[in-house]
Amino acid sequence: MSEFQQSQQAEQAGNIEHPTSNIQHPSALATLSWIKHFFDYLGASREEPPPGASFLASPIWLGIWWGVLIGLILLFCGQTSKFIYIDF
């Protein structure tokens, strides 16, 4: 098994430890992993929501999320596109 596959299995198991330390924080790593999966799902790089966040898969939540994103785009659209015409 390659080093990459071993690190992926360790990450999924939640028992990653820093190479220079013997201190493990499984709850902190599990929380960070869950947050990473949450943002991966929101960014559409994962198909399924993280465990315990099944509300994210509801059509109502997805509609609200994409509505907020479109609203933010419309809010900031054109703020930095000042065209200055200079005739030499």
Q: Is the pLDDT of residue 75 over 70?
A: yes
Considering the domain boundaries, does residue 84 fall inside one?
no
Q: What is the count of structural domains for the chain?
A: 1
Full DSSP string of the chain:
--HHHHHHHHHHHT----TT-----HHHHHHHHHHHHHHHHHTTS-SSPPTT-GGGGSHHHHHHHHHHHHHHHHHHTTSS--------
Considering only CA atoms, which of 12, 14, 42 is closest in space to residue 28? 14
Considering the domain boundaries, does residue 65 fall inside one?
yes
pLDDT (0 to 100) of residue 43: 81
> Which bin fits 44, alpha (ψ -120 to 50), beta or left (φ > 0)?
left
Structural domain of residue 14, as residue ranges?
A: 3-76
Considering the domain boundaries, does residue 11 fall inside one?
yes
Q: What is the pLDDT of residues 10-66, one digit of tens each?
A: 666 655 555 555 555 678 888 888 899 888 888 878 888 888 887 777 889 888 988
Considering the domain boundaries, does residue 87 fall inside one?
no
Is this structure's pTM higher than 0.95? no
